[in-house]
C-alpha cells in the first residue's frame, strides 16, 4: 500500500486532468455558439488558428525539452487556453494576433514556468493583456452584432478579413464596423465610457442602437450562455462556487451602491454583469485551479478582489473591460492570500485558554 501526498489544489470530482479540461470546454460550447451567432464566423477562424498554434507550440517546446509531448498534449490544457484566448479577442482580428498571443500563452507564460501546474499567471489572460497593450488598435476592433451592420459576412469573408484585411468583395474591417448610416459602432462598455466622457448621462447613452432595454444587443445573450455553462461546471463539481459567486456578487454590490448614488453617471448592476466578459471571466477564467487561491476562504477573497478590480477599472480606468487585468492582479496576490487563509491541518490541536 502506498500513501500519496500532493499539494493543493485538490480535485474532488474524481476526474483526471484531461477529463476536467474537456468538461470545461464542453460547458463553454453554448457561449461560443451564441457568440458566433451574434458576431459571425470569425470566431471559428480564430478558434482553429489558436488551437493549431497551441498544439504545435507546446509539442515543439516539449520535444526540445525531451519531454513526453504526446502525453502533455493529451491533457487538453493547451487547447483550453487557446479557446479562452480566441473567444476573448475580436473575431476579425488579423491572424497574427491570435497566433502571437497563443504562442506567448503556451511557451512564455506556461512552459517557461515549468508547464501545467507551475504557471503563476493565467496564460490566456496574460497573453490577452500583452496583446492589448502591444496592439491596442487590433485588439479593440470589435465589429457590432451582425444584425446592426450594413454588410453580411459569411465564412469565406471572415477568413479573408482575418488573413488579408478585406472581405471577398473588398470591404475593409472599418467598413464592417459601421451601420447602414455609415456610423462606426462600438461595444456596449466602450460606448457608455465614451458617451460619459462627452457629457452624456448613462441613460442617454443607452439610447444608442446597440442597446436594447439597457443591455447590449447580443452581449446579454452571450453572457447568459456562459452563465449556463458555468452553472453546469458548479453542478458537476468541476469548479467551486466561491470564486464566481464572490466575483459577481462583489461586482453587482459595488455597482448597485454607485448606481443608487448617481444613476446618471454610473451603470446599473445588470449592465455590468451582462456586458463584456463578466460571465466568461467568472466561471471559465478566474476559476483556473493553478493560478487561483486554493482554500475556500481564499477563493472568496480572490473572487471578491477580481470583482472589485473589474468595477474600478471599468469605471475609472483606461480600459472598458477589465476582467483580464483584474485576474492578473489577483494572481499576484494569491501567495499572500494562501499564506494567511490556508486551512488548518487535519488533526491540528491548539491549547485553549
Same domain (yes/no): 191, 170? no
Q: Which residues pair with 184 in a beta bridge?
A: 178
Same domain (yes/no): 194, 332? yes
Q: Which of 13-27, 104-118, 293-307, 334-348 has the lowest mean pLDDT?
A: 334-348
Render pLDDT for 133-165 as a digit per residue (tens, 0 to 9): 999 989 988 888 887 777 788 899 999 999 998
Same domain (yes/no): 246, 340? yes
Domain closes at, from 184, 205, 235: 184
Residue 31: inside a domain:
no
Domain closes at, from 126, 161, 184: 184
Same domain (yes/no): 321, 199? yes
Number of domains in the chain: 2
* Structural domain containing residue 57: 41-142+150-184
Same domain (yes/no): 292, 193? yes
Q: Which of 183, 306, 284, 163 is nearest to 234 (CA)?
A: 284
Residue 339: inside a domain:
yes
- pLDDT value, residue 184: 65
Q: Strands 211-212 and 215-216, how do they pair?
A: antiparallel
- pLDDT value, residue 5: 45
Measure the CA–CA gap between 141 and 155, rounded to whole angstroms: 18
Residue 107: inside a domain:
yes
Residue 137: inside a domain:
yes
Same domain (yes/no): 155, 217? no
Beta carbons of 282 and 243 less than 8 angstroms apart: yes
* DSSP H helices in 40-76: 42-64, 69-73
Q: Residue 104 gets which letter from DSSP?
A: I
Same domain (yes/no): 117, 192? no
Going by pLDDT thresholds of 50, 70 and 90, the confidence category of residue 347 is low
Same domain (yes/no): 203, 334? yes
Same domain (yes/no): 208, 64? no
Same domain (yes/no): 192, 138? no
For the cut 90, the answer to whether the pLDDT of residue 173 exceeds it is no
Residue 34: inside a domain:
no
Same domain (yes/no): 258, 329? yes
Render pLDDT for 63-122 as a digit per residue (tens, 0 to 9): 887 877 666 677 889 999 999 999 999 999 999 999 999 999 999 999 888 888 888 899
Same domain (yes/no): 177, 216? no
Residue 64: inside a domain:
yes
Beta carbons of 75 and 21 less than 8 angstroms apart: yes
Residue 23: inside a domain:
no
Residue 14: inside a domain:
no
Amino acid at each position: 500500500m502506498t500513501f500519496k501526498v500532493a499539494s493543493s489544489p485538490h480535485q474532488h470530482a474524481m476526474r483526471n486532468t484531461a477529463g476536467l479540461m474537456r468538461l470545461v470546454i464542453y460547458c463553454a460550447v453554448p457561449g461560443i455558439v451564441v457568440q458566433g451567432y451574434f458576431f459571425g464566423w470569425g470566431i471559428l477562424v480564430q478558434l482553429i488558428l489558436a488551437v493549431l498554434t497551441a498544439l504545435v507550440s507546446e509539442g515543439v517546446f516539449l520535444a526540445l525539452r525531451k519531454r513526453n509531448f504526446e502525453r502533455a498534449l493529451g491533457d487538453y490544457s493547451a487547447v483550453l487556453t487557446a479557446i479562452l484566448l480566441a473567444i476573448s479577442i475580436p473575431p476579425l482580428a488579423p491572424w497574427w494576433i491570435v497566433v502571437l498571443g497563443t504562442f506567448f500563452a503556451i511557451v512564455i507564460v506556461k512552459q517557461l514556468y515549468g508547464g501545467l501546474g507551475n504557471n503563476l499567471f493565467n496564460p490566456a489572460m496574460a497573453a490577452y493583456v500583452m496583446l492589448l497593450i502591444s496592439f491596442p488598435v487590433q485588439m479593440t476592433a470589435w465589429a457590432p452584432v451582425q444584425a446592426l451592420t450594413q454588410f453580411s459576412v459569411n465564412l469565406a469573408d471572415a477568413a479573408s478579413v482575418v488573413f488579408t484585411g478585406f472581405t471577398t468583395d473588398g470591404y475593409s474591417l472599418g467598413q464592417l464596423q459601421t451601420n447602414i448610416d455609415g456610423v462606426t459602432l462600438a461595444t456596449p462598455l466602450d460606448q457608455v465610457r465614451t458617451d460619459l466622457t462627452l457629457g452624456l448621462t448613462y441613460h442617454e447613452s443607452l439610447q444608442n442602437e446597440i442597446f436594447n432595454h439597457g443591455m447590449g444587443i447580443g452581449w446579454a445573450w452571450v453572457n447568459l450562455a456562459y452563465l449556463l455553462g458555468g452553472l453546469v461546471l458548479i453542478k458537476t463539481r468541476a469548479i467551486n462556487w466561491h470564486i464566481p459567486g464572490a466575483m459577481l456578487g462583489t461586482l453587482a454590490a459595488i455597482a448597485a451602491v454607485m448606481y443608487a448614488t448617481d444613476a446618471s453617471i454610473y451603470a446599473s448592476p445588470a449592465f455590468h454583469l451582462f456586458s463584456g466578459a463578466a460571465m466568461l471571466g467568472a466561471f471559465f477564467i478566474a476559476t483556473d485551479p493553478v493560478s487561483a487561491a486554493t482554500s475556500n476562504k481564499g477563493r472568496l477573497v480572490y473572487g471578491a478582489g477580481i470583482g472589485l478590480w473589474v468595477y474600478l477599472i471599468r469605471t475609472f480606468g483606461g480600459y472598458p473591460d477589465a476582467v483580464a487585468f483584474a485576474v492578473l492582479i489577483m494572481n499576484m496576490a494569491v501567495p499572500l492570500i494562501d499564506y494567511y487563509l490556508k486551512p488548518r491541518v487535519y488533526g491540528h490541536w491548539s491549547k485553549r485558554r
